[in-house]
Chains A and B, each alone.
Chain A
Amino acid sequence: MKFCLNIKSLKKNFGCNSVLSNVDLEIQSDKVTVIIGKSGAGKSVLLKLIAGILNADGGKISITQVSDAGQSSEINLKDLGFSYMFQNNALFDSLTAFDNIALPLIEGNYNFKSSQVRLKVDALLEQLDLLSSKNKFPGELSGGMKKRVAFARALVTEPNIVLFDEPTTGLDPEKKFTVFEMINQYKEQFGFSALLVSHDIPEVYEIVDSIAWLDEGKIKFQGSKDEIDRIADQSVKNYLKTGRFNSKVRL
């Protein structure tokens, strides 16, 4: 499905703490967009605003859907079909891995028979190498496994767009790489668009089409990897390329 998510001068304050002052962002379908920025820059807040968990204090988020016939119409995110992978997974500790993944199918607005649910969930469990942990509770799983369960739960509803909030935090470098691989692979397989928040510069660039840098409440740069090279300011360029303003490592 072709769509375009448009964010125009989005604002969000918590009391007198202005977190987002003026965010403009455009997200295209079938693309992977990454939001980078310092801790506390408001990346999670931005994702929550898009998902409708928080309400904005100003600005507009709109999604334009383009049908195969070329007609464009405005829809909301729920109708588009989205899922959200939370920074801390937000798995239900009283449910097993299987039940956690099945939860959106059983309790959401779907009408699947329990045999269909089992088939779908088992297929995902197998693909994500989780079959042996099927009946374990989140408390009994390692960090990487929890991430994979959360990933499976996000994919099981076959969304058109998935929002990932720091999907790799707390994982060792190898597992980080696996998560990025997973996103890339399933994006091809399920055909979703992805918006992710990540600190893993430059590793994350391997899988993204568009990079957005959130700083001081604004998107200060949005573009592809190649466009970074054209930035004049050396320290910004360094930051976007390496995650550090000063490329020399001081210990």
Chain B
Amino acid sequence: MDKILKIITFSVRELGEILLFIINSIVGFFLCQKRFSKIIISSYEIGFRCLFIILVIGLFTGMVMGLQMYYTLIKFGAESALGTAISLSIIRELGPVLSALMIVGQSGSAICSEIGIQRNDEQIDALETMGIGSRSFLAGPRLLAGFICFPILTAIFDLIGLWGGYFSGSILMGLDAAIYWNKVFSSVQFIDVLGGFIKSFIFGVFTIGICCYEGYYSHIKSSYPGIRGVSQAATRAVVKSSIFILVFDYLITSFLL
């Protein structure tokens, strides 16, 4: 019991530190307006590089769901509800969660190692001696890019997932296409889409925040100095982000439902 309490207090404190880091970076970023073009570069880094993997994962998630749900639903003679089942689970849950996990794996770890190496190479100290706020310079544009890119990539994931479900449910298994799409359009409500987007906004800022934070403090948070500490930090960033995504997915869902 004591141990669990300790873990919880530790997590809450860490989350608070990360939140302060995020606020500090974003406020600093907006105070120095010369850097807005950096958002585009970071959006490319986070968004465009992940596009391919999002397309692949989205398509296959939709396809496998199409198959599984079809076999389950047909047992009850309810295969016409396939569109409802796929669209709601993808838009509400799988879209935001899986996209966020994929982006963290692809871009978050890269961001963390890049900042960690810059820390290791004293580039961050150099920024500070030049009078440049290193947090807003390094983390600011990435956080905003996360805020922009996560919802867009999630939307792409949702769309392609629905097509994947259509492919396996309708083209392969023979469910009527009109019934599938009809169910999709009639069962998805604005609140479902909004809920998915709220999740991806929060995931976007916080997971990128965690990755920047871990990289930025890789020199004090790792047990090894140097590059080995950076690789530790990257691992920690991915693990913490993934835990964050799943825990907060549950929390946000329970608030929204």
A→B interface (CB under 8 Å): 48, 51-53, 78, 82-84, 86-88, 90-92, 103-104, 106-109, 157
B132 touches A103 (CB 8 A): yes
Per-position 1/0 for B190-228, Cβ under 8 A of A: 000000000000000000000000000000000000000
A103 touches B128 (CB 8 A): no
A-B contact count (CB 8 A): 46
A104 touches B130 (CB 8 A): yes
Q: Which residues of A contact B122 (CB under 8 A)?
A: 86-88, 90
A107-B132, A107-B137, A108-B131 known; A84-B34 Cβ under 8 A: no
Q: Which residues of B contact A84 (CB under 8 A)?
A: 125-126, 129
Q: B123 contacts the other chain (Cβ, under 8 Å)?
A: yes
- Cα A86 to Cα B123 with chains together (Å): 9
| Interface SS of chain B | helix
Q: Which residues of A contact B123 (CB under 8 A)?
A: 90-92
B131 touches A78 (CB 8 A): yes
Chain B residue at minimal CB-CB distance from A165: B122
Q: A68 to chain B: closest CB distance in Å?
A: 25
Chain A residue at minimal CB-CB distance from B122: A90
Q: B113 to chain A: closest CB distance in Å?
A: 13
B121 touches A53 (CB 8 A): no
A109 partner, pick from B125, B128, B131, B137, beta carbons under 8 A: B131
- Cα A108 to Cα B128 with chains together (Å): 9
**5 interchain residue pairs of minimum CB distance:** A90-B126, A104-B130, A84-B129, A90-B122, A108-B131
Q: Which residues of A contact B137 (CB under 8 A)?
A: 107
> A83-B129, A109-B131, A157-B130 are known contacts; what are 7 more A-B pairs with Cβ within 8 Å?
A86-B125, A88-B122, A92-B118, A92-B123, A103-B132, A106-B34, A107-B34
Q: A82 to chain B: closest CB distance in Å?
A: 7
- Cα A51 to Cα B34 with chains together (Å): 26
Q: Which residues of B contact A88 (CB under 8 A)?
A: 121-122
Chain A residue at minimal CB-CB distance from B126: A90
- Cα A109 to Cα B118 with chains together (Å): 22
Q: A4 to chain B: closest CB distance in Å?
A: 21
Q: B13 contacts the other chain (Cβ, under 8 Å)?
A: no
Chain A residue at minimal CB-CB distance from B125: A53
Chain B residues 103 to 154 lying within 8 A of chain A, measured CB to CB, are: 118, 121-123, 125-132, 137
A84-B126, A106-B34, A107-B137 known; A90-B121 Cβ under 8 A: yes
Q: Which residues of B contact A107 (CB under 8 A)?
A: 32, 34-35, 127, 130, 132, 137
- Cα A121 to Cα B123 with chains together (Å): 20
Chain A residue at minimal CB-CB distance from B131: A108
- Cα A138 to Cα B70 with chains together (Å): 57
